[in-house]
């Protein structure tokens, strides 16, 4: 297995992508990586570390797509960027997958444009992990498709089902449609029709309301990219908000250092499920290849997890199963 790693994306490149790659190489001895980015800086990071030089290839790219650049123009105007080159290598079969902590929009655009769609897939989608009290769920779409149709939501459900089953080891994933009410006649016309289409899916548990997400009433939460993106970012902001409110209460109550220590320690564990670093990255599903994106602030550990997930996704032949499911 060979994975191309974007070493010119994210908030801490090339350092974290390089260190993350080394961790992945350590964990999987069958693995090799191609590091794409500014060669000199990459080698600078490498030379401070021990690494299996026979399993690392550095490929210099001269252009960098910034985190806030407009996706479509960036991809078109920067043919020698790590994203365009890396996905191009994947398209040519030189690597088995591509991972990046860079500009999500640009990655999505480039993945769709360069890799193409899987046969039968109407719209590629970003799936993302979402914490619940029962463990991690999968939210699909997390922001790729802002306008959807019922049959597109149905495909999200099918793709999410396969990912949850074969990548997250959930035997029979419960699939829910995010909506404003439980009853099947609730929601917009799009949601009502999507509900009807999804009734044929094994594991479909019907509409899921906002209050039932954290409760883990489904494993796969199907929604459009607006709802998913807002919820995803909202969820990520919860720990900080709670900590902020907590500090105010602690001050008001005059808690001592020991008491504060206890509370911080407990809360740190409580919020572990909300930590995006644990899971590394999330996939674009529906594109003809393995393309994963991680949070801009990804740690080396997060990058490592993302690389290993890409390996797993290639090995498990997720895309073959997706093609079969949308037929």
CA distances from 206 to 15, 134, 156, 228 (A): 44, 18, 15, 17
User: What string of H, E and C letters represents the secondary structure of 210-264?
Assistant: HHHCCCCCCCEEECCHHHHHHHHHHHHHHHHHHHHHHHHHHHHHCCCHHHHHHHH
By the rule CB under 8 A, 232 interacts with a copy of itself: yes
Q: Which of residues 21-50 bind a copy of itself (CB under 8 A)?
A: none
How many angstroms separate the CA atoms of 52 and 25, rounded?
8
User: Which of 110, 213 has the CB closer to a copy of itself?
Assistant: 213
Contact range with a copy of itself by CB under 8 A, out of 42-50, 117-125, 140-148, 280-288: 140-148
Measure CA 296 to chain center: 11
Q: Which is nearer to a copy of itself, 21 or 229 (CB)?
A: 229
Q: Does 185 bind a copy of itself (CB under 8 A)?
A: yes
Q: Closest separation between CB of residue 222 and a copy of itself, Å?
A: 12
Q: Which of 66, 135, 146, 317 binds a copy of itself (CB under 8 A)?
A: 146
Tell me how far, at minimum, the Cβ of 218 lies from a copy of itself, in Å: 13
As to burial, measured by CB atoms within 10 angstroms (0-12 exposed, 13-18 middle, 19+ buried), residue 188 is: exposed
Decide if residue 236 touches a copy of itself (CB under 8 A). yes
Site string for a copy of itself, 257-296 (x = CB under 8 A): --x--xx-xxx-xx--x-----------------------
Q: Which of residues 202, 244, 257, 327 is near a copy of itself by CB under 8 A?
A: 244
68 binds a copy of itself (CB under 8 A): yes
49 or 244: CB nearest a copy of itself: 244
Q: Is 169 exposed, middle or buried (0-12, 13-18, 19+ CB in 10 A)?
A: exposed
Instruction: Name the residue among 26, 52, 228, 234 with its Cα closest to residue 143.
Output: 228
Residue 256 CB, shortest distance to a copy of itself, in Å, is 10
Q: How far apart are CA 133 and CA 326, in angstroms?
A: 31
289: left (phi over 0), alpha (psi -120 to 50) or beta: left
Task: Tell me if 133 contacts a copy of itself by CB under 8 A.
Answer: yes
- Beta-bridge partner residues of 58: 35
- Phi (first) and psi of residue 139, to 5 degrees: -105, 130
Footprint of a copy of itself on this chain (CB under 8 A)? 68, 70, 132-133, 143, 146-147, 178-180, 183, 185, 187-189, 191, 209-215, 223, 225-227, 229-238, 240-242, 244-246, 249-250, 252-253, 255, 259, 262-263, 265-267, 269-270, 273
């Amino acid at each position: 297995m060979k994975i191309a790693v974007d070493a010119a994306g994210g908030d801490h490149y090339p350092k974290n992508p390089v260190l993350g790659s080394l961790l992945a190489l350590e964990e999987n001895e069958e693995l090799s990586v191609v590091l794409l980015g500014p060669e000199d800086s990459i080698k600078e990071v490498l030379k401070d570390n021990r690494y299996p030089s026979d399993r690392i290839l550095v490929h210099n790219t001269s252009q960098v797509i910034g985190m806030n650049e407009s996706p479509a123009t960036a991809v078109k105007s920067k043919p020698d960027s790590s994203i365009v080159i890396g996905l191009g290598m994947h398209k040519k079969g030189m690597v088995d997958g591509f991972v990046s902590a860079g500009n999500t929009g640009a990655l999505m655009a480039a993945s769709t444009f360069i890799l193409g769609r899987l046969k039968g897939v109407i719209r590629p989608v970003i799936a993302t992990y979402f914490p619940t009290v029962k463990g991690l769920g999968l939210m699909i779409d997390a922001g790729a498709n802002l306008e959807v149709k019922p049959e597109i939501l149905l495909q999200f459900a099918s793709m999410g089902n396969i990912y949850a089953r074969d990548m997250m080891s959930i035997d029979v994933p419960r699939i829910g449609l995010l909506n404003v009410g439980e009853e099947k006649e609730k929601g917009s016309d799009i949601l009502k029709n999507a509900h009807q289409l999804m009734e044929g899916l094994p594991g479909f548990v019907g509409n899921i309301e906002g209050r039932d997400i954290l409760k883990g009433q489904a494993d796969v939460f199907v929604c459009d990219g607006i709802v998913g993106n807002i919820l995803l970012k909202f969820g990520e902001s919860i720990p900080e908000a709670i900590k902020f409110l907590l500090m105010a209460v602690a001050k008001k109550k005059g808690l001592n250092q020991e008491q504060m220590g206890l509370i911080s320690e407990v809360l740190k564990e409580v919020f572990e499920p909300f930590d995006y670093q644990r899971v590394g990255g999330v996939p674009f599903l529906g594109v003809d290849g393995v393309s994963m994106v991680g949070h801009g602030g990804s740690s080396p550990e997060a990058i490592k997890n993302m690389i290993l997930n890409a390996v797993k996704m290639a090995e498990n032949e997720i895309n073959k199963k997706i093609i079969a499911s949308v037929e």
